[in-house]
Every structure is written in structure tokens, then in C-alpha cells.
Structure 1
Amino acid sequence: MKTICLITFSLLISSVCIAQATVEQAEKLTKKITAFYHVLQADPKVKHGLYQARHDKNMALASGLYENDKRVGLWHFFDYQGNLLQNFNYDKNVLTYEALDDQVNGFKYFFDKTVKATDTVTKPIKIGGRYFGYLNYMTLFKLPKEFDTESHPSYNLITVELLVSPGGHLADYIIHLPVWGGKKDLSFNIDMLSEEDKVFIPATINGEPVSARIIIPCSIDGRGNLTFGILAKVLESMREDSN
């Protein structure tokens, strides 16, 4: 019994020491979305402890733990209505749950090989889900000044194309923008994204990784903001940041 008490006391002391060694920080991701996390007191650049991204309605969008600036354990990702979109186990590097695609987000997937009816196919998946995982793609987009949004208050039938390699890396990010007499393809420098933003679970056909394209229907409003599928609510928050 004494041994058990000593062990328990040691664990409590360790927990207190860990708590004292970290401080909480808050970072605005958008006007309505804030990330709360802990960093090492000795090195504020290193995340260590609980991380939560929350909407201003106090609804969690992402929740999990960091250990020495690395995600560990099981993380949960939600949409803006609180629906679970994805669970990912960073210790095992395994996706444990992915919500089905729906007609709201409109994501479509194409592969570099012909798919037969008898093939077993898995789509490319962004770790972080089809909401939190795509936030930084939205902020990367900037409508070039030569496009007249005043005479064309809303561009429709636009598509975002993300090319994902067999190794699960983002290889290209293109906006297909309709213009008079045809279309304009706008490529973006993906080096502006973090390495984490470039990581996907690759598509497979019969267990073999293949290149794949994620096609996302979207539109651009009169202020040049990008809206696609289920992310419209997040975009609305971002628009308010510029006001």
C-alpha cells in the first residue's frame, strides 16, 4: 500500500512539474476561430500539452495533445456544427474514423489510373478533415488584381484542384477560373504552406498508392474571397477579419 501511495505521489509531483513548465497561449486563426494551446516555458516555440481550436460559440473544431511540438495520441476534428469529421491516431499514424463525403462539400476525386468496377479504391484524405484541414488553403488564395470583381461580382463554376502524389504529398494547387472566351488556370506557390499542410493520406487502388486529384467546386465573391463547399462558414469568419 505504501509503495502504491509513493508511486501515486510521484506521478502527482511529475504532473505538477509538467504543468509548471508550460504556459497557455491563444492564437487567432480567424476572427471567430481561436487556437488555445500550451508551450514550454523554457521555449515558447514548442507546443506541449492540450491543443484546441474553437469557434467563438465555444465549439471545438480540433482537439488533441502535443508533446515537444509533435502531435501525439488521438485527435478529433469537427465541422462548424459540431459534427465529427475525423479521428486520427498520431501515435500509430492511423486514421480511425472519416465521415462520409456529402453533397454539401461537393468534393470529387480522380485517379491517374483507370478504375474498374471490381477495384477497391480509397480517396486521398487530408489529415484534419474537410474543415479544419483545409483552412490554410483558403488563406493562401488571393484573386489577382487584373480580375474585375466589380463588373463580375461573383465568379461561379470555379474549381479548386489539388494534386496529391502517391507518397501523400501535395504536388500542386490550381484554381480553374472561367473567363471570357475560355478559362484561366491560376497556380499557387505551395511552399507558402507548412509541411503539415502538404501531407495527405494517399489514394490507393487495390492497396497500391496512386496519384489523385481532389476537385472542389467553389466561387469567388466580389471581394475576391474563395468559398468552397462546407467551408463557407469559415470563410465568412475570414471575411470579417478584413473589415
Structure 2
Amino acid sequence: MLKRYLLLFATVFFINQCLGQDTIQVKRKLSNQVTEVFTVLKSNVNIRHGSFRALYKNKVPVASGTYGNDKRVGLWRFYNPAGVVLQTYDYSHSRLFYEAPEDSTSHLSYLVDKELKAGDRVIKPIKIGSTFYGYLPYLTLFKLPKDLDFYRNQLTAVVELLVSPGGRLADYKVNFYIGDISTTPFRTINMNLKLPDPAYLMFIPARLNDEPIASTIKIRCVVNGAGHLDFE
């Protein structure tokens, strides 16, 4: 294990040293409160290479790691807005090292596509990036249509993500409710699955009795002043 960590560290150090002079730093707003800070190649600004951080209110890291030739490599850590580690993932070996227990007040809920029996063992689907940073893109990619702007202050939004047994995003929609969210949605907007980052399509699937199974993730949200979504 120690050799593996040393190798990962050496790889990241080599990447940063060899191309540190050939990269430029970029800052990009992911949401109103989260800014991504990373480096790209001078020769191709579409290729991320080197260190990466996502900062909550420009102070607290909610994600940190390294890119190598536009791919996430080595160990990445993901945090909540208070700076508490929620998840550690090794992209070089596709291995989840740590996942914090989900808080009982979480804005997420999960459903599996099967009636459960007594004794069934169910493991929730997992988004790499954890329950804060990992789900932010599905909120920020949405923009409230102009015809719903009149109802903005009355709306409760629920982002609904269908994840296949293979761990791939199969459906992505936003349901809007006025009042009770257990009723039929006031409006449903189906989102395009051609997302800007392939990582947005990938999950660790839910498991039922150690077998992968389709699942639905629901995220309760509010509409912010810019017409995007925020965690409730």
C-alpha cells in the first residue's frame, strides 16, 4: 500500500514539475458559491493538466486533486462546505477509499427499481464527488424557463437522476411542484444527456444483495435568483 501511495505521489509530482512552466491557471465559477481553480496547457487551453481545487466562497476546498492530460489521476478528496472530508477516491485505480455516512438531514433520497423483501441488503448509488460537489453540476446546468419565472418564489424543484445497473446516467429531469411534492409535478423538464463533462454520466451503481440494480436519485432544491438551482 505504501508503495502505491509513493508511486501516486511521484506521478503527480512529475506531472507538476515537467509541465508546470507550460500551463496557465484558470478560474471558473461552477455555482454562485463554488469556484474551480485549475491549470490548463498553454498549447491547448481545453486540456486540464496539474492541480485542481474547487473552493466554497473562495475559501473552503470542496474538491482537490490532480489532472493529467485532461484526466483525473491519483487521489482526490471531496469535502462539505464546512471542510469535512466526505469522500476519497483513487482515479488511477478506480477505487473508492472512503465514503462518509450520509447525514440524516441530507437533501438526497434514493429509490431502487424493485420491490424489497425482508432481509434484502441495499447499498445506495454513489456519485464520485460525494453529496455536495458531485451533484452541483446537475443543479447549475439547469436554467429556469422564462414562462416559469412568474412562479419562481412558489416553486420547489426536485432533480431526478436515473442510474443504470452499469452505473451510467440514463435519465435526467427536473420536476417542479407548487406545495406538496408528493403530488403530481406542476411541470417536468427533461434535460439533455449530452453533458459537458463525461464524468457527469458516471456513478457507482446501487446494489441489491450484492448485484447492481437501477436506481433513482432525487435532490430537493430551490430556485435561486439567477434561475439556477441550489440545494435546499
Work out whether the TM-score is over 0.5: yes
**Match in the other structure for 2:165:** 166
Paired residues for 1:27-42 under 5 Å: 27-42=28-43
Tell me, in whole angstroms, the C-alpha distance in 2 between the residues paired with 1:160 and 1:212: 14
Tell me the matched-pair count.
216
Paired residues for 1:120-159 under 5 Å: 120-147=121-148, 149=150, 153-156=153-156, 158-159=157-158
TM-score (norm 2): 0.81
CA contact 2:30–2:140 (8 Å) conserved in 1:
no
Tell me, in whole angstroms, the C-alpha distance in 2 between the residues paired with 1:224 and 1:22: 34
Tell me, in whole angstroms, the C-alpha distance in 2 between the residues paired with 1:225 and 1:26: 20
Change (3 A) 1:54 1:179: closer
- SS class of match (1:126): coil
Shift of 1:58: 1.9
Deviations 1:141-185 (A, max 9, x none): 2223333535x62223x4221100111111111222235995332
**Match in the other structure for 1:197:** 200
Q: Which residue, 191, 204, 209 being the options, matches 1:206?
A: 209
Shift of 1:13: 10
Q: Which residue, 219, 223, 228 being the options, matches 1:216?
A: 219
Tell me, in whole angstroms, the C-alpha distance in 2 between the residues paired with 1:154 and 1:95: 39
Aligned residue type for 1:191:
K
From the CA coordinates, give the structure whose radius of gyration is larger: 1
CA contact 1:105–1:228 (8 Å) conserved in 2:
no
Change (3 A) 1:204 1:104: same
Unaligned 5+ segments in structure 1 are 1-11, 230-243
TM-score (norm 1): 0.77
Tell me, in whole angstroms, the C-alpha distance in 1 between the residues paired with 2:81 and 2:225: 24
- SS class of match (1:96): strand
Shift of 1:213: 0.4
Change (3 A) 1:80 1:15: closer
Shift of 1:133: 1.1
CA contact 2:50–2:68 (8 Å) conserved in 1:
yes
Paired residues for 1:37-76 under 5 Å: 37-76=38-77
Note if 1:186 corresponds to 2:185. Answer: no
Aligned residue type for 2:43:
A
CA contact 1:168–1:201 (8 Å) conserved in 2:
yes
Structure 1 vs Structure 2 CA RMSD = 2.7
CA contact 1:165–1:210 (8 Å) conserved in 2:
yes
Change (3 A) 1:155 1:60: same
- SS class of match (1:191): coil
Deviations 1:51-80 (A, max 9, x none): 111133421111011111111111001111
**Match in the other structure for 2:27:** 26
CA contact 1:149–1:223 (8 Å) conserved in 2:
no
Tell me, in whole angstroms, the C-alpha distance in 2 between the residues paired with 1:118 and 1:204: 14
Shift of 1:204: 0.9
Aligned residue type for 1:203:
A
Unaligned 5+ segments in structure 2 are 1-12
Tell me, in whole angstroms, the C-alpha distance in 2 between the residues paired with 1:178 and 1:72: 40
Tell me, in whole angstroms, the C-alpha distance in 1 between the residues paired with 2:146 and 2:14: 58
**Match in the other structure for 1:96:** 97
Shift of 1:32: 4.0
